[in-house]
Amino acid sequence: MANEIRDFLARIPNPFQLEHLEDTEALVQFNVEGEGGGKWVADVHDNICEIREGTVEDPDLDIKGKIEDVNKLLAGELDPMKAYMTGKVKVIGNLMLGLKLLKAIKLA
C-alpha cells in the first residue's frame, strides 16, 4: 500500500490535459504523511497539469493527509468531502479547486 501513490502518479501522463479546469492557473501542494508518502506539486496552467515531486512556497491550495487516506481518495474508496469534514485530509485554500483537480487526476 505504501507505494500506491507513486505507482498511481507514474501511470498518468505528465503533463496531462485538463478538460474541466479551463482558464485555471494554480499551484497545488500535496503533503502525504507516512511510509511511502512525500511532497508533490501540481502546476495547473494552459489547460494542462504537471505533477512533480517537491514543494512550492505560497501554494494556491495546500492538501495534507496520511498516506492511507490519500490512497483511498485516489482509489475512489473515500469521499473527498467526508475526508475533509472528518479531518482525514486537511485543505487550506480553494476547496472547489481541490475537488476539480482530484476529479481530473482520477480521469487521467
pLDDT at residue 1 in the model: 45
Average per-residue pLDDT for the chain: 81
Compute CA distances 29 → 39, 63, 82, whole Å: 7, 6, 20
Q: How many other CB atoms are found less than 10 A from the CB of residue 51?
A: 19
Min mean pLDDT across 2-6, 89-93, 99-103 is at 2-6
What CATH number is associated with residue 69? 3.30.1050.10
- What are the C-alpha distances in Å from 10 to residues 22, 53, 62, 81, 96? 24, 12, 21, 26, 25
**What pLDDT was estimated at residue 19?**
67
Instruction: Look up the pTM and report it.
Output: 0.79
Q: Which domain holds residue 54?
A: 4-107
Query: How far is 21 from 72, CA to CA, in rounded Å?
Result: 23
Please count the structural domains in the chain. 1
Angle at 73 between CA 16 and CA 61, to 5 degrees: 65
56-70 confidence digits (pLDDT tens) = 999 999 999 998 998
**How large is the average pLDDT for residues 3-12?**
65
| Residue 89 in this model has a pLDDT that exceeds 50 | yes
